[in-house]
Amino acid sequence: MEGHKKNDSTVYCSTSAARSGRFSSMPYVFLFFVLSLNCEIVSANNIPECEELIKTAKTLAPGPLSIFKKQIALDCNIENDLSTYLCFYKKWGAYLRDEKKQPIKAIENYKEYLRGMPRPPSSEEEWKDHGWLLANIGYTYVVELSDLDNGLLFYQKAEDIFVDTLNQRNGQTALYIYTPIGNIYTRLAEYEKATIILEKARDILLEAGKHDQAARVMMNLGILYRSDGKAEKAQRVLEKGILLKGVSNLTKIKLLIELGLSHSYKENFKLAAQKTDQAFLLLNNPDNEINENEKNKIRISVYENYGEIYKQQKLPGKAYAQYLKAIALDSTVYGNSNRRGVAKSYIALGNIKREQGDYQAALVHYQNALEKVLPKCKLRGLSNPDASFFYAENTIAEALKEKALVLERLGNGGDETEFLQTALECLEGYLAVWKLLRDDFEYKKSGFSVLRKNRSVIEKAIQLSIKAWQLNGDNIYLEKAFNFSQQAKNLLLLEALQKAEATIAAGVPDSLINKNHDLNIKITWLEKQLLATKNNAENIAGEKIKKLETQLFETKEALSKLDEKLETEYPEYANRKKEIPVAGIKTLQNKLPPDAMLLDYFTGDSSIYVFKISKDNFEAITITKNFPLEKTVEELRSGLYDWQYGKDYNACANLYTATAHELYNKLIAPLGGLPEQLIIIPDGVLGYIPFEVLLKEKPAAAVYFKDLNYFGFEKTISYNYSAALWLQMAKREHTGKDILAMAPQFGTTNNINKPIAERRGGLSGLVHNKDEIDAIYNIAGGTKFSGKNATKENFLQLAGQYNILHLATHAILDDRENGLSYIAFAGASEKLDTGKIYLLDLYNLRLPADMVVLSACETGIGELKKGEGIISLARGFAYAGAKSIVTSLWEVNDKATAEIMEEFYRQLKKGNTKAEAMQYAKSDYFDRQIDDKYVHPYYWASFIAVGDMSAVELGGGFNWWWVLVAALLLLAIYVKIKRS
C-alpha cells in the first residue's frame, strides 16, 4: 500500500488492521485493530529500476528466480548500490506476503536480504530504509505468523536504528515502531511496559498535532487498559480519542467499537449496544472513504462485539449466530488462514455450547480453536497438542482452559479417569503457555497480574487432581495437586532467585554481573523517586513524573538488552534461569526430621487444601470454605491489637477468642494428629496470622489469658513462603561469623507511655532497644552499634560479614506503595533515602546471613499479591540471601520485645533450634507475667521464625568469670605490693 511522497527519498507507510487478544476473567472478550506496520520503502532514484526487477521476478519459475536474485545481489554489490538491493527485497517480500499469501516465504526472502547485504547502511536514508524493512519483518512475524517473540525482536532492531542511531522520536516512530511494540506487550500481558510505550507514542503524536494517528494509539490504549481490568480508564481514553479534532471516520469507527466492548466488560449492555450500533451505522454510510475490504475487516469485529453483548445478556442463540457470521466473513476476507481472531471466535462458540450442556459440540469448537493457533497440530477426539508446539500466545492457554472445563463435565457422565487425566493435561498446558509468556516479563506488576488471573485455574487443577487421586488411589495425582499448588506460592521470588544464581552457575564474568547489578541499582533508585513523587499530590501532573518514567523505561530497556546478550553468549544462563526449583515430595520427606510435618495451605474460592507431608506419609485434606475466611482473619487481628487503639478491651478479648477458636476448628482440627514440629506454609490471608495464637477451646465466660489453651505452646512452629523456598533456604551457605546488632535512637522518648494510636506513623523514641542489644552482646558477643552510630552506612558496609543480623529499630509499612516500606536507621528523616533501607533496596543486596532478626514492627506483613503472597520486608531479606528470618506480624511492644529477644538468644546459646528458641522465649515471657493484661498474645505472639530452623553457633559473649579472675589477680598484686 502506498502513501504520499515526500522530498527526494521517502518512506511510504499505511496501517492495516489486525486484531489482538487478551486473557480475562470474562468468559470471552475480544481485542482487535492492533496497529501494525505495512510500509513501502521507496527511493526516488531507484523506483523505475526496482519496479522492473519485480515485474521480471514475477514471471520466473523458482530455479531461474533464484539465479535472478543472485544476479541482483552481485550487481548491487559491484555497484555498491544498497538502495536498489533493499528496495527489491522489500517489495518482493510484500508481494509474497500480501498477494501470494505466503508469509513464511516472505520471511525467507527477508532473511536472504539480511544475509546478502552488499554492505552496512551508511547514509541517513539508507539507515531509514533498512529500519523500515526490519519493521516489515516484525509486522510479518506478528500479524501473519503470530510469532510475537521474533516480531518483537525485529521491531526492537528497527527501534534501535531510529531512536539510537538516527535519534528520531517522531510521529512515524511513534505510530509504526512504538505502537506495535506496545501492542505486542499487551498481547504478552506485560501491561505495565505496554502502558509506558503506548502512552509515550500517544504523547509524541499529540504534541506533533497528528490527532488521527494519536486517536489510533488511544484506541490501543483502550484495549490495553481493558485487558488489564481497567475498563473505566479504557472508556475515558476512548472518549477522548473520539473527541479529538480531525479524527477520520475509520478511526472513529474503531474507537466506537472498542468503547462498546469496554461497556460490555462492565456489563453496561445498553451502552455497549449503542456504541456498536453507532459504529455500524457510520461504517455502512456510503459517503465515507473506507474501501469495501477494510469495511469487511471491521464488520468482523462488529459481529464479535454483538456476539459478546448477546452472550452477556443471556441470549445464546443470537450470540452464536453473530460469532458464526464473524468466522464466515473472516474466511472471505483472509482466506483459510490460521488467525488467532478466528480461534477466539471458536472459543466463544464453545463456551456457548458448554453453557447449554452440549459438551461434545463445545469440545469440537475448542479443538478448532487450538488448530487455528497451532496449525501444525492435527487433533483427533480428545487429544491435546504436544507442549513442544506451544509458544507465547494467550489464546492457546484460553482454549486449553475452556477445554478442561468441558472435559470435567463430560467425565461426570462416563469414564471419569480418562476425562480427568485429559483435563489435567489441558491445565498443565495452560500453565506451560503462561510460563512462556511470563519468561519475557521485565516488570514485576505484570507478573503479579498474571499470577492473580491464573489462581482460579490452579484451584481447578488441584480439585481435579485430588478427585482423580480419590478415584483410583494413584499418588501421582496427589503429587500433581501439590505441584499445582506450588505454582501459586512466591513463584516470582523463586524465579528471581534462580535468575541470580544462573549468572554464577553459567560462568558469566564479573564485569557483566556488575553491570547488571548497577542497572538494577539505578532502576531501584528511579522506582523509589517515581513512587515518592507520585505520592506527592502536588506532582501528580508534573513534568518530573514523565521524566522519571522515561528514565526508568530506558534503564529497564538497557537491562533487557543486557539480559538478551547474556542469553545469547551464555546459553547455560538462558537454560538455568528458566529452571524453577521444584519441591518434590521425596526430596521434602528426605529433608524433614522424623518428628516434623510440613503443612502447605492453598486457599481457594470454594475450598482450602492442606498438604500434610511427613517423613513417611503424604496426604491432602480438603476443607470446605463455608465460612468467611478473610473476614475471620481480619477480626482475629482486630481482636489481638485494636484495644491498643482505644477500643473496648473486653470486646476485643471476646472477638479474639471467638475467631481464634473458629480458625483452629477450620484450619487445624480437620488435620487429625500432628507431630511436635510443624513447618507451616500459609497462603493468602493466612500469612497475616501466627498459628500459635489459635485456641483449642473457647473460654466459657470471662477471658483470662493465662488460662487459654494456645496451639503454639504445645507445638514448635516455624514458617516459610513456599516448600521450594524452604528447601532452598536450608541449602544456603553463610560465610560470616558473630552478630551485628543495631539499635538506633529516634527523637524523644517522652511519648513512650502514650497509646500506640498516638504514636503510630512516626519514629518515636525506643527506650529498650539499646538494652536489648546490650543483653544480646553479653550472651553472644559480636559487634553492636547504638544511638547515632547505628547508621544505614555502617549496616551496609558490615552486614555481609556477619552470621546474624539483629535490627532493633522501627519498620514503617507504606500502605500506598509497598516498595517504599522501610527499616529505619539513625538519622532517618522525611528525605527519601536518608537513614532508610527500603523493601526495593533489599532486592539489590546480598546478605548471606544464617539469621536476620527484625526486632521491629510489622516486618512480616505487607501487600497481599494474590498468586504470589505477602510482599513484606522479611520476604525481601529472604531474597537477599538470609537462611532464616525472625519477623513480626504487628506493631510490637518495645519492652516485651526486649525481654523475648534476650531469652531467645539465651536459648539459642544452649543449642536449641531457632523455632525451639522462639517457643521457649515466648513461653518464658508468658510464665513470668503477673498481670493478666501482659499475658495477652499481643505482647508475645507477634514474632515468628521463617526459613531454615537449624541451630546457630553463637560466640562467647561477655564473660563475667574472666572479669572476676582479673579483679582477684589485680587485688593479689595490690596486696603483695603493699606488703613489700
The neighbour count for residue 483, using CB atoms within 10 Å, is 19
- State the pLDDT at residue 830: 72
Bridge partner residues of 836 (DSSP): 824
- H helices of 732-818, in order, are 756-759, 769-780, 792-798
Question: Is it the case that residue 548 has pLDDT exceeding 90?
Answer: no
Look at the pTM and tell me if it is higher than 0.85.
Answer: no
Mean pLDDT (whole number) for 235-239: 96
pLDDT tens-digit profile of 95-141? 998 888 888 899 999 988 888 887 888 888 889 989 999 999 999 98
- State the pLDDT at residue 445: 53
pLDDT tens-digit profile of 586-599? 999 999 999 999 99
- State the pLDDT at residue 558: 86
Question: Is it the case that residue 288 has pLDDT exceeding 60?
Answer: yes
Question: Is it the case that residue 640 has pLDDT exceeding 80?
Answer: yes
Residue 723's alpha-carbon distances to 530, 534, 595, in angstroms, are 35, 37, 18
- State the pLDDT at residue 146: 78
| Segments making up each domain of the chain, as ranges | 509-569, 732-960
- State the pLDDT at residue 75: 83
- State the pLDDT at residue 42: 33
Higher pLDDT residue, 435 or 941?
Answer: 941
- State the pLDDT at residue 978: 63
Question: Is it the case that residue 71 has pLDDT exceeding 50?
Answer: yes
From CA 778, how far away is CA 481, in angstroms rounded? Answer: 49
Hey, what's the cell of 533?
Answer: 513523587
Whether the Cβ atoms of residue 607 and residue 621 lie closer than 8 Å to each other: no
Mean pLDDT (whole number) for 818-846: 81
From CA 744, how far away is CA 742, in angstroms rounded? Answer: 6
Question: Is it the case that residue 966 has pLDDT exceeding 60?
Answer: yes
Place 393 in a pLDDT band, splitting at 50, 70 and 90: confident
Place 276 in a pLDDT band, splitting at 50, 70 and 90: very high
Place 215 in a pLDDT band, splitting at 50, 70 and 90: very high
The DSSP line for 55-118 is HHHHT--HHHHHHHHHHHHHHHHHHT-HHHHHHHHHHHHHIIIIIS--HHHHHHHHHHHHHH-S
Place 173 in a pLDDT band, splitting at 50, 70 and 90: very high
Mean pLDDT (whole number) for 654-665: 94
Mean pLDDT (whole number) for 416-439: 88
Question: Is it the case that residue 802 has pLDDT exceeding 80?
Answer: yes
From CA 411, how far away is CA 758, in angstroms rounded? Answer: 60
Question: Is it the case that residue 424 has pLDDT exceeding 90?
Answer: yes
- State the pLDDT at residue 748: 55
The DSSP line for 530-567 is HHHHHHSGGGTT-HHHHHHHHHHHHHHHHHHHHHHHHH
Place of cell 498477494: 99
Whether the Cβ atoms of residue 536 and residue 831 lie closer than 8 Å to each other: no
Mean pLDDT (whole number) for 289-316: 90
H or E stretch at 519: helix 510-535
Most confident of 19-23, 783-787, 917-921: 917-921
Mean pLDDT (whole number) for 943-949: 93
Q: Which fold has domain 732-960?
A: Rossmann fold (3.40.50)
- State the pLDDT at residue 291: 86
- State the pLDDT at residue 700: 78
Mean pLDDT (whole number) for 346-361: 95
- State the pLDDT at residue 8: 34
- State the pLDDT at residue 19: 30
pLDDT tens-digit profile of 136-155? 999 998 888 878 888 988 99
The neighbour count for residue 29, using CB atoms within 10 Å, is 22
From CA 313, how far away is CA 307, in angstroms rounded? Answer: 10
- State the pLDDT at residue 46: 45
- State the pLDDT at residue 493: 72
- State the pLDDT at residue 855: 85
Higher pLDDT residue, 82 or 6?
Answer: 82
Report residue 858: phi and psi, to 5°.
55, 30
Higher pLDDT residue, 845 or 464?
Answer: 464
From CA 647, how far away is CA 956, in angstroms rounded? Answer: 46
Question: Is it the case that residue 891 has pLDDT exceeding 90?
Answer: no
Q: Which of 11-15, 66-70, 346-350, 900-904 has the lowest mean pLDDT?
A: 11-15
Question: Is it the case that residue 47 has pLDDT exceeding 60?
Answer: no
Burial annotation 207-242 (CB, 10 A radius, 16+ → b, else e): eeebbbbbbbbbbbbbbbbbbbbbbebbbbbbebbb
The residue among 68, 48, 42, 41 whose CA lies nearest residue 57 is 68
The C-alpha angle 629, 409, 345, rounded to 5 degrees, equals 100
- State the pLDDT at residue 915: 95
Place 15 in a pLDDT band, splitting at 50, 70 and 90: very low
Place 754 in a pLDDT band, splitting at 50, 70 and 90: very low
The average confidence (pLDDT) of the chain is 83
888: left (phi over 0), alpha (psi -120 to 50) or beta: beta
Mean pLDDT (whole number) for 484-495: 77
- State the pLDDT at residue 4: 33
